[in-house]
Amino acid sequence: MNYRDYIWDLGGTLLDNYEISTQAFVDTLKTFGKQASHDEVHSKLKESTDAAIARFIPDQPQFLKAYKEKEAELLESPILFPGAREVLQAIVADGGRNFLVSHRNKLVLDILKKTQLLPYFTEVVTSESGFARKPNPESMLYLKKKYDIKDALVIGDRDIDRQAGQAAGFDTLLVDGTKSLMEIVK
């Protein structure tokens, strides 16, 4: 491993959640009497949940709550990307530290417990931690200061992860789920 510290995103990086999120979004749209194609929703969700809502159902303030409930129900059986557990284990075995920064709420902790990944993280930052959302680097700067992080690799699947990591002074790596994380993070 080339770094001591790794700051991870969860969805789309360690957790293969976009299919689940897309299904939940499309299903929830139907309950509101709207329709959209799987591919269109998937593409907008890769930008952000806010972008998808703005595109498909901007006039229903209660949609987000219903969508998040449906998504949480479907995430009862989370699926990890290949190599996720192994790379986290290898980092810890090599004396390194893993951190997680997610826009999700405390559901993140439930997902990490279900997948048995929680013990591999030094700290998990969720939306309930009170920091500004990425690409704002506030959460990463907090970790940098608290843990005296000199250099780290920020790993995510969206440009906002890269922007936040670079603004905090860290190296960054974007993944797309096509290769095992063990192949990518050496």
Instruction: Set out the domains of the chain in order of their start, with CATH numbers.
Output: 5-15+80-183 (3.40.50.1000), 17-75 (1.10.150.240)
Q: How many residues does the chain have?
A: 186
Calpha distance 123→101 (Å, rounded): 9
| Residue 169 · residue 154 · CB < 8 Å | no
pLDDT tens readout for residues 22-62: 999 999 999 999 999 999 999 999 888 999 999 999 999 99
pLDDT tens readout for residues 79-109: 899 899 999 999 999 999 999 999 888 889 9
Q: What is the pTM of this model?
A: 0.86
Calpha distance 181→186 (Å, rounded): 9
Residues near 26 by beta carbon (within 8 Å), at least 6 away in sequence: 35, 36, 38, 41
